[in-house]
Chains A and B, each alone.
Chain A
């Protein structure tokens, strides 16, 4: 089972749904709930309850809505194909309200009150840090979709986004090789993810690439005044601006860059934090020609992704865009289903034990595999911003091993 990618083929689901569910029902209906659930989770003979825990309200809602949509889409598709171990997935959705203690409270509610078999959720590092002790204490299982700073590995979490080294190192290598970059200006919002990312970037630039960091600055979350920074960039003329500005600050930053005449024809910029979702707010014309480094772009050209984009747009409208995290969130339910079926049980410990080695050949981003450290093997792509708010993929790395505790980068 390890070596065989699990086939999902969403496009054919519509046709084969009925047949598949009949097949699945006959395959699994004999498995009694008492056997596949020995720890009192919310599993009946026909249903299994899972949780979705994101911010539907508050400042993070704009980012997390995509994740909710992707998770619901995946669950719908799994249900149409016969569910998990013959059981339909029922969703309990809770709102973390962009507020970290609320996340902790709702996580406890899902695990203790609803006895959910797994939770898909969280977006910011702060919300993950807030719920982590709850998941470890109550022995829950969390699928976390966001690219993040690494330095963490919990038995109770599967990280479906990239950790920092996967996202950063390939991007820096590419810009050094393709653009001959030697000097870098590091820039980020002021919290753990940009700071850790830039720490890794600085070590890589100085120790591996033999380049130089000519500036490193952090701005408070929500900052909208980048004038003095842009002047410094103009003055020091770095070969590359390496940016990890998040949220609404992005809109201000790129618009002010354009207004100041710092555009792609004069300045190379590589960002870690602008996906198609952010581009909606920034406007493709304000960022055209800049680059982003991440594992997924909506424009990826492969059959899995074509089917995913089609299904997503069919459900959420033709103007819906899909960013890196949305795709990573979509992987969560599929990875969980694969792990449950490999384990033959919903028990958290068995699902966790079965998770390393799970492969997904049908992920929109291409092939992924769960590492022993609960992160995913994945490729990193460089996308060039187009005026229409999409990315053109200009580079694709090999499959990169996740390494949340990188030696020599701490």
Chain B
């Protein structure tokens, strides 16, 4: 097989796994589910973008970000700003004191469109911003943190703080962002009604295709030398550093990739759900996204997708069947997963699948055993000791 293709598909087993996932989301779901349920799956798949990014950052890079909601939200807000401007044409908003600006600005006595919003009249700018804005922020955070060798649990706490700051900022700047309500009532994309069933179907396929694209990119990264370096860094950072590699740059890179995936997911979320609000930016959604990756197995890209789907299916099913009890059921599910299947669904598949498939081809991302706790810091030597020759 062509080596690049081999890297992308992750060997024979990887190719089969990907084909199964693609068949499931591209053929089985669209055929088996009605428009409403399919739209819900489309929403879950947007979370899977974040989970795939987390597998890269956390499972391979050892960077546990508890603030992926930041990037998901930024991507989503960029898309929402474009859609909101389109939905606020002077004709439809003529009842306002200032027609032609989004309704929530009018409620906040803003009389002209803020400068920040101006570029979002352009779709091409918006599409670029969906990826670039989260990446830029990730870059800044990454440089500030990793260059100074802030890592592990401290990094997690800082990402969480940033998620909180961003939420407070969005809620506080009500005239600019729509506050707690978020940006709602999005209708059309270049005149195309995104609320119709056909549009939802098309957006679902776009979302699914983009997700598979992201998985392929992630696989390429994992299978490349960079991927092996990430693993090495996760397990013995000092050794990689002493070998002459700039550890920080690799970390920043993989963090930015995770942010880009999350941004794309956020934009697809806005398109499919029809609004964006600070409730996707904060700490709770960010931690939920980590849970998706954990349930799926933090070392498995495909597992992350299944994790996101399964947890959200569970949420919907439990909340429809037991409206008063469902949060407890979800909590119980997480406890069971963490206690009995620390490597998630993918780990479960491994431990049972290995027996049957032991003689089959090696599957790199499966055979790597993770250290018991990636964020545990207690055993690490202090930096002073490291740098002393």
Which positions in A face B, CB cutoff 8 Å?
A: 56-57, 93-95, 97, 99-102, 104-106, 108-109, 112-113, 124-126, 129-130, 132-134, 137, 149, 151, 190-192, 195-196, 199, 220-221, 405, 410
Contact = CB atoms under 8 A, between A and B. Distances in A.
Contact of A191 (B103, B180, B320): B180
Interface of B: 35-36, 39-40, 43, 95, 97, 103-104, 106-109, 168, 171-172, 174, 179-182, 184-187, 195, 273-275, 277, 279-280, 316, 319-320, 323-324, 326-327
A105 B316 contact: yes
Contacts of B280: 101
Contacts of B277: 100-101, 126, 130
A132 B320 contact: no
Contact of B180 (A93, A133, A221, A410): A221
B268 to A, nearest CB: 13
Contacts of B187: 133
Given A100-B277, A101-B273, A192-B174, A57 B326 contact: yes
27 contacts: A57-B323, A57-B326, A57-B327, A95-B324, A100-B275, A104-B273, A105-B43, A126-B182, A130-B275, A130-B277, A133-B185, A133-B186, A133-B275, A134-B274, A137-B195, A190-B172, A190-B174, A190-B180, A191-B174, A191-B180, A191-B181, A192-B180, A195-B108, A195-B174, A195-B179, A220-B172, A221-B180
Contacts of A126: 180-182, 277
Contact of B274 (A99, A133, A221): A133
B95 A190 contact: no
B273 A129 contact: no
Given A105-B40, A199-B109, A129 B279 contact: no
A205 to B, nearest CB: 16
Given A109-B36, A133-B195, A192-B107, A95 B319 contact: yes
Contact of A151 (B107, B171, B186, B275): B107
Contact of A129 (B172, B184, B195, B320): B184
Contacts of A405: 95
A405 to B, nearest CB: 7
A212 B13 CA distance: 74
Given A101-B279, A104-B273, A133-B195, A192 B104 contact: yes
A130 B183 CA distance: 9
B214 to A, nearest CB: 22
B110 to A, nearest CB: 12
A350 B326 CA distance: 37
Contacts of B168: 220
Nearest to A55: B323
Nearest to A149: B107
A95 B323 contact: yes
B323 A56 contact: yes
Contacts of A113: 36
A112 B36 contact: yes
Contacts of B316: 105
Contacts of A93: 323
B267 to A, nearest CB: 15
A373 to B, nearest CB: 12
Contacts of B184: 129-130, 132-133
A195 B109 CA distance: 10
A130 B181 CA distance: 8
Q: Name the 10 nearest CB pairs between A and B, nearest first.
A: A95-B323, A191-B180, A129-B184, A126-B181, A112-B36, A129-B181, A137-B195, A57-B327, A95-B319, A56-B323
Given A99-B279, A126-B180, 18 more contacts: A56-B323, A57-B323, A93-B323, A95-B323, A97-B327, A109-B320, A130-B277, A149-B107, A151-B107, A190-B172, A191-B181, A192-B107, A192-B174, A195-B179, A196-B107, A199-B109, A405-B95, A410-B106
Nearest to A105: B40
A403 to B, nearest CB: 14
Contacts of A132: 184-185
A194 to B, nearest CB: 10
Contacts of A109: 36, 320
Nearest to A127: B181
A196 B326 CA distance: 35
A101 B107 CA distance: 22
Nearest to B104: A192
B325 to A, nearest CB: 9
Contact of B171 (A124, A133, A190): A190
A101 B73 CA distance: 13
Given A129-B181, A151-B107, A220-B168, A104 B275 contact: yes
A47 to B, nearest CB: 20
Nearest to B109: A199
A40 to B, nearest CB: 14
B185 A129 contact: yes
Contact of B179 (A100, A137, A192): A192
Contacts of A192: 104, 107, 174, 179-181
A245 to B, nearest CB: 14
B323 A94 contact: yes
A190 B278 CA distance: 13
A141 to B, nearest CB: 18
A379 to B, nearest CB: 27
B196 to A, nearest CB: 8
A112 B196 CA distance: 13
B218 to A, nearest CB: 26
A71 to B, nearest CB: 14
Contacts of B103: 151
A56 B319 CA distance: 10
A125 B277 CA distance: 13
A100 B279 contact: yes
